[in-house]
Structure 1
Amino acid sequence: MDHDEFIGQVQNRAGLASRGEATSATRAVLETLGERIGEEEADHVASQLPLEIGRYLDERDHAQQFDYEMFAARVAEKTESSDVEQRPGQTSQAVMSVVSDAVEGGLVRDVVSQLPQSDGYGELMAEAGD
């Protein structure tokens, strides 16, 4: 999947009005995921995404500890879209669904499964296919 297709899929799945909003949402979600997961996991996922998108995972201080509620709050804070600010959880699910489609089978699900499900991280993959 190339950059344009990726952003188009995010725009469609998240119901965003523009490609700019989809780009902002993708950046916000992947930067936040990169902050939460380990560097090795972030590198592995990033290596399978278009370069312009994968870099959002790599440019972070990795392995921070925060729950899903904080994850959603960070996504809302980082975005430039009021639509995303109002529904960061749904937008995060849409982005992760596209990431899941873009990388080798099960990789994203494996990464998310390493996060504490009791904190709500299972919701990140609620929209993703197997």
Structure 2
Amino acid sequence: MEPSEFYTMVRQQADLESVEEAEDASKPVLRTLGERLSAGAVDDLTSYLPEELAAELETDSEPESFGPEEFVARVAERVDVDEELAKRVTRATTDVLAEAAPGSEYRDVRQQLPDEYGTLFQGAENAEERVS
């Protein structure tokens, strides 16, 4: 999936005004996800993404343990939006990520996160269907 296609899909799903706004919002979502996941999970995901998107997931630090509220707060701060819009952008970005990555890879990512992340990572159900 090309970056422009990724951002266009995020724009549509998050109901944003422009592709540029979707790009500015989805990059911090990917960056925050990279902070939360193990290096192995990040490597698996980045192998299916264009370099521009993969670079946002990559981090040199150990995975951090934080809940979905902190995830949304970090995105809201980085994008400089309210938490409701940050949730919407996070859901859209992770749903598009679920479409970009093979179902098994996305499922593995989702399994690293506690069940409480379910509202932010709704694409996991679709990933399960693609694996079956």
> Which TM-score bucket, shorter chain as reference?
0.7 to 0.9
What TM-score, normalized to structure 2? Answer: 0.86
Partner of 1:50: 50
Uncovered stretches (5+) of structure 1, i.e. residues with no partner: none
Structure 2 residue 15 is the aligned partner of structure 1 residue 15: yes
Percentage of identical aligned residues: 37
Q: Deviations over 1:21-79 (max 9, x none)?
A: 11111111000000001111111101111110111001352410111100000011111
**Residues 109 and 125 in structure 1, CA contact (< 8 A), matched pair in contact too:** no
**Residues 35 and 60 in structure 1, CA contact (< 8 A), matched pair in contact too:** no
Distance 1:127 1:87 in 2: 18
Distance 1:91 1:109 in 2: 20
Uncovered stretches (5+) of structure 2, i.e. residues with no partner: 128-132
Matching of residues 1-130 of structure 1 within 5 Å: 1-59=1-59, 61-80=61-80, 82=81, 85-117=83-115, 120-127=116-123, 129-130=126-127
Aligned residues: 126
What TM-score, normalized to structure 1? Answer: 0.87
**Residues 79 and 85 in structure 1, CA contact (< 8 A), matched pair in contact too:** no
Distance 2:84 2:103 in 1: 31
Distance 1:45 1:127 in 2: 14
Please give the root-mean-square deviation of Cα atoms over the aligned residues, in Å: 1.7
